Structure 1
Amino acid sequence: MLEFEFSEKDLNFECTGWRDLANIEETLTKFDRALFEKWREISNNGILMYKLDDLEGRCIGDRYKFQLQLNPERVKKRKGPTISQINIPFDPNRFHFGKVRQEEILFKIKDNLIIINIYPLDIGHVLLVPSIDRQLPQSLNDSAVLFGVECLLLSGHPGCTVGFNSLGALASVNHLHMHMWFVRGQLPISSVEVREIEGTTLSMGDVTKDDYVVRLVAFQMINNDVNKFVELITASAQYLQKKEIAHNIILVKGSNFSKNGNTIRAFVWPRQSILGEPKNPINHFVAVAEVAGHVTVYNEEFYRTAKEELMSESIREPAFEDKVFDEIRNGLVNTVKKIL
Structure 2
Amino acid sequence: MLGANARTQRSVSSIQLPAEFSPSASSAPYFNYSPSDFILDLRTHKESEENYQNGHTETDDGKKQLKDLLHERWENSKQFNAFNYSLNCMYRCMDGKYDLSMQLNIERGELRRKPMHFKNIKEPFNHLRFNFTKLHDNEILFYLKCDADPISNDPLDRHLVAVNASPLERDHSLIVPSVNKCNPQVLTLQAVRIAVDLMLLVDDDMFHILFNSLLGQASVNHLHLHAVYWPYDSDLINRKCEPLHDVPNVFVIRPPIWICPAIVFQLDCMENYEQFKTNIYKCVEHLTETNQAHNLFLARAQPIRTTGAEKEEDRRGERPQLVTCYVFPRMNMIGAKPPSNFNPAANELAGNLTSYTIRFFESAIEQSVIRIIEEEASLDDDSFRSLCFDLADVLIGRSVGTSRPHDLDILEGLTSPEIDELRDSFQSFMPRSPSIRHRSSTRTHSDEGPIV
TM-score, normalized by length of structure 2? Answer: 0.70
Q: Secondary structure at the match of 1:4?
A: strand
Correspondence list, 1:93-112, <5 A: 93-110=128-145, 111-112=158-159
Secondary structure of 2:263's partner? strand
> What is residue 165 of structure 1 aligned with on the other side?
212
Provide the residue aligned with 1:145 in structure 2.
192
Q: What secondary structure is seen at the aligned counterpart in 1 of 2:122?
A: coil
Task: State the Cα deviation string for residues 236-290 of structure 1 (Å, max 9, x = none).
Answer: 1110111111110111111121385331111111111111221332x11111110
**Equivalent-residue separation in structure 1 for 2:119 and 2:165 (angstroms):** 25
Deviation at residue 23 of structure 1 after TM alignment:
9.3
2:123 aligned partner, one-letter code: I
C-alpha change, 1:214 and 1:23, in structure 2 (3 Å) is farther
Per the alignment, residue 179 of structure 1 pairs with: 226
Tell whether the 8 Å contact from 2:115 to 2:219 is kept in structure 1 after alignment.
yes
Deviation at 1:302, TM superposition (A): 1.7
Q: Which residue is 1:63 aligned to? A: 97
User: Could you tell me how far 1:26 is from its partner in structure 2?
Assistant: 4.0
Distance 1:309 1:333 in 2: 32
Question: Any idea what SS the aligned residue of 1:248 has?
Answer: strand
Residue matched to 1:305: 363
Report the Cα distance in structure 1 between the residues aligned to 2:372 and 2:35, rounded to whole angstroms.
41
Report the Cα distance in structure 2 between the residues aligned to 1:115 and 1:262, rounded to whole angstroms: 27
- Which residue number in structure 2 is paired with residue 290 of structure 1? 348
In 2, Cα distance between equivalents of 1:45 and 1:189:
37
Return the letter of the residue paired with 2:238: S
Larger strand share, 1 or 2: 1
Q: Give, in whole Å, the separation in 1 of the partners of 2:290 and 2:51.
A: 42
C-alpha distance in structure 2 between counterparts of 1:109 and 1:129, whole Å: 10
Cα offset for 1:328? Answer: 1.7
Count how many residue pairs are aligned between Structure 1 and Structure 2: 332
Residue identity (%): 26
The answer as to whether partners of 2:125 and 2:184 remain within 8 angstroms in 1 is yes
Q: Which amino acid aligns with 1:130?
A: P
Q: Structure 1 residue 192: deviation in Å?
A: 2.0
Structure 1 residue aligned with 2:182, among 122, 127, 135?
135
1:129 and 1:172 map into 2 onto residues whose CA distance is 14
The two structures have a TM-score, normalised by structure 1, of 0.92
| Matching residue within 246, 262, 269 for 1:216 | 262
Give the match's secondary structure for 1:5: strand
Q: Could you tell me how far apart the structure 1 residues matched to 2:87 and 2:50 are?
A: 23
Would the alpha carbon gap of residues 26 and 338 (structure 1) be closer, same or farther in structure 2, given more than 3 Å must change? farther
Per-residue Cα deviation, 1:295-334 (whole angstroms, up to 9, x for no partner)? 1111112212222222222222221211112112221121
Rounded to whole Å, the distance in 2 between the matches of 1:208 and 1:172 is 27
CA–CA distance in structure 2, aligned partners of residues 331 and 45 of structure 1: 49
- Partners of 2:72 and 2:171 lie apart in 1 by 9
Partner of 2:386: 327
Does 2:75 align with 1:40? Answer: yes
| Cα distance change of structure 1 residues 275 and 23 upon mapping to structure 2, 3 Å threshold | farther
Question: 1:80 Cα deviation (Å)?
Answer: 2.1
**Of residues 321, 330, 344 in structure 2, which corresponds to 1:262?**
321
Question: How far apart, in 2, do the equivalents of 1:121 and 1:197 lie?
Answer: 33
Number of the residue aligned with 1:83: 118
CA displacement at 1:83 relative to structure 2: 0.8
Whole-angstrom distance in 2 between the partners of 1:325 and 1:66: 23
Deviation at 1:188, TM superposition (A): 1.6
Instruction: Give distance in 1, aligned partners of 2:111 and 2:35.
Output: 39
Q: Tell whether the 8 Å contact from 1:130 to 1:144 is kept in structure 2 after alignment.
A: yes
Structure 2 Cα separation of the partners of residues 12 and 40 of structure 1: 25
Equivalent of 1:274 in 333, 356, 361: 333
Structure 1 stretches lacking a partner, 5+ long: none
Give the partner amino acid of 1:41.
Answer: N
Tell me how far 1:198 sits from its aligned partner.
3.7
Q: Would you say the 8 A contact 1:16–1:156 is kept in 2?
A: no
Gaps of 5+ in 2: 1-27, 58-63, 146-157, 306-311, 313-318, 399-452
